[in-house]
């Protein structure tokens, strides 16, 4: 029965993914989809409903996180229970993607994630590991301590010297296992109460929502414009909900590429001070040099500046940091120690060697150069269409030209062997999504394949369908 389940989404208002969420909940709770029933595969249901696989995958993901569904690698998605469970459920993103793409993913060009190009990282890290192997001692067998990483924090402070963060020292730095971990540690330091409210951009990185959910927080979307978060909208949300934290990406907003002017940053800080908000400044996607003072420089007493090496050198290294508000570095390091005791010693050794030798800077420059070449390719092929981008940034934001809807374009792109992300994948569950897509510059893909994919997208944009599907 579950394999032929085909809901009527026209009875639900709002985005298609949210309508499908409502339909799934109703079917599970009414018994139309009984416990243990297997749901249709993502591609099959997407085809029958004339929506994108990404829309179905997102709905499956949301309802799975609520505990009504369960995803099992190699078997599919099943009805788990008729009532929601509390707390996080099993990780499901990879399982859904595996079901969605199947074993045929090798012939698809994936422009959903801006994977880093290989520009010498492997050789550099291999050389460091060989050096570390000859220097192993008893201290490598002991737990990390709060003071042992001081030299690494000092080296990282030097690395961040071009980011216009204002005065800070190694004492304001807490080292983390990547940017996502830094976000979790920051939320643990700042959140109070059973269901605190957190403000974020109405289009935002999905990992922020997951981190908020793990910390029992309610996420409130705030309106964006061409410069990012709108201060008046943040002020109105604070007056309505109270709230404790606002998460912002002022330098390179994901997915829209928006960059805040100095005047806008100053106004955001004024609103934060007026309502005593803590500011989480996500700088993980930023290009190498900042355009102006960071929020951390404008409001050092309340800004938690998150960075990592995942978008500049290596995602697998899992190295990140929080530049904490003045005087709060020790609190964040204690939270990190209570959570995971600190960075693994091999990771610390690798990162320290990269910074001290100057190799980190050289690798970052090469990565930037690689993305710049791909950006030039994309702009040359897609330049007659409206696009938003920043020099050196690893993705583009493409508003749809007349005749296209983002969901339809994403589906047609996939039919042509190209995976991209439509705007609704970044919207909150009850939020709005503009008619646009994000295209990653995908550094891990061969340049010839990347060029082919962009050329195909350009052809699609020039040939909108005669009749858009409902």
pLDDT tens, residue by residue, 311-344: 999 999 999 999 999 999 999 999 999 988 889 9
Instruction: Give mean pLDDT, residues 18-34.
Output: 87
Residue 467 pLDDT level (bands cut at 50, 70, 90) = low
Report the CATH fold assignment for 2-103: Arc Repressor Mutant, subunit A (1.10.10)
* Per-residue H/E/C for the chain: CHHHCCCCHHHCCCCHHHHHHHHHHHHHHHCCCCCCCECCCHHHHHHHHCCCHHHHHHHHHHHHHCCCEEEECCCEEEECCCCCCCCCCCCCHHHHHHHHHHHHHHHCEECCCCCCCCCCHHHHHHHHHHHHHCCCCHHHHCCCCCCCCHHHHHHHHHHHHHCCCCCCCHHHEEEECCHHHHHHHHHHHHCCCCCCEEEEECECCHHHHHHHHHCCCEEEEECEECCEECHHHHHHHHHHHCCCEEEECCCCCCCCCCCCCHHHHHHHHHHHHHCCCEEEEECCCCCCCCCCCCHHHHCCCCEEEEEECCCCCCCCCCCEEEECCCCCHHHHHHHHHHHHCCCCHHHHHHHHHHHHHCHHHHHHHHHHHHHHHHHHHHHHHHCCCCCECCCCCCEEEEECCCCCCHHHHHHHHHHCCEECEEHHHCECCCCCCCCEEEEECCCCCCHHHHHHHHHHHHHHHCCCCCCCCC
Task: Specify the pTM.
Answer: 0.80
| 141-357 CATH pick, 1.10.10.10, 3.30.300.160, 1.20.910.10, 3.40.640.10 | 3.40.640.10
pLDDT the model gives residue 178: 94
pLDDT tens, residue by residue, 179-223: 999 999 999 999 887 788 999 999 988 788 788 878 888 889 999
pLDDT the model gives residue 443: 92
Average pLDDT, the chain: 87
pLDDT the model gives residue 93: 43
pLDDT the model gives residue 407: 83
pLDDT tens, residue by residue, 430-452: 567 899 999 999 999 999 999 99
What percentage of the chain carries pLDDT values higher than 90? Answer: 54
Q: Where are the domains of the chain?
A: 2-103, 141-357
pLDDT tens, residue by residue, 227-237: 999 999 999 99
pLDDT tens, residue by residue, 148-176: 899 999 999 999 887 789 999 999 999 99
């Amino acid at each position: 029965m579950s394999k032929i389940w085909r809901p009527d989404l026209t009875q639900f208002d709002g985005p298609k993914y949210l309508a499908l969420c409502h339909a799934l909940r109703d079917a599970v709770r009414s018994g139309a989809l009984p416990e243990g029933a297997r749901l249709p595969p993502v591609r099959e249901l997407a085809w029958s409903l004339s929506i994108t696989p990404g829309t179905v995958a997102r709905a499956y993901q949301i309802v799975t996180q609520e505990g009504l569904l369960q995803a099992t690698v190699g078997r599919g998605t099943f009805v788990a229970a008729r009532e929601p469970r509390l707390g996080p459920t099993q990780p499901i993103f990879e399982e859904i993607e595996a079901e969605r793409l199947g074993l045929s993913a090798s012939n698809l060009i994936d422009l959903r994630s801006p994977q880093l190009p290989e520009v010498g990282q492997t050789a550099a890290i291999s050389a460091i590991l060989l050096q570390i192997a000859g220097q192993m001692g008893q201290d490598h067998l002991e737990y990390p301590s709060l003071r042992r990483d001081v030299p690494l924090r000092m080296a990282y402070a030097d690395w961040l010297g071009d980011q216009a963060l204002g005065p800070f020292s190694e004492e304001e730095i807490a080292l983390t296992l990547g940017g996502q971990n830094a976000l979790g540690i920051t939320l643990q330091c700042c959140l109070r109460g059973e269901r605190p409210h957190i403000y974020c951009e109405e289009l935002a990185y999905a990992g922020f929502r997951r981190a908020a959910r793990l910390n029992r927080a309610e996420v409130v979307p705030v309106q964006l414009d061409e410069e990012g978060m709108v201060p008046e909208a943040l002020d109105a949300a604070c007056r309505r909900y109270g709230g404790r934290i606002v998460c912002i990406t002022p330098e390179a907003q994901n997915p829209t590429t928006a960059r805040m002017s100095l005047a806008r940053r100053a106004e955001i800080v004024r609103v934060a001070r007026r309502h005593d908000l803590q500011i989480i400044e996500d700088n993980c996607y930023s290009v190498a040099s900042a355009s102006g003072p960071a929020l951390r420089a404008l409001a050092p007493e309340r800004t938690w500046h998150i960075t990592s090496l995942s978008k500049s050198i290596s995602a697998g290294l899992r190295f990140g940091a929080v530049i904490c508000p003045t005087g709060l570095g020790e609190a964040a390091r204690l939270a990190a120690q209570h959570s995971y005791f600190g960075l693994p010693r091999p990771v610390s050794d690798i990162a320290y060697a990269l910074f001290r030798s100057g190799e980190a800077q050289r690798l970052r420059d090469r990565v930037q150069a690689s993305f710049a070449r791909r950006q030039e390719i994309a702009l040359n092929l897609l330049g007659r269409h409206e696009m938003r981008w920043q020099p050196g940034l690893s993705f583009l934001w493409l508003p749809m030209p007349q005749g296209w809807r983002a969901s339809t374009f994403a589906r047609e792109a996939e039919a042509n062997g190209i995976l991209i992300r439509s705007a609704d994948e970044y919207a909150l569950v009850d939020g709005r999504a503009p008619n646009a897509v994000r295209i990653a510059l995908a550094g891990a893909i061969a340049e010839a394949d990347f060029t082919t994919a962009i050329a195909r997208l350009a052809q699609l944009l020039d040939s909108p369908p005669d009749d858009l599907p409902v």
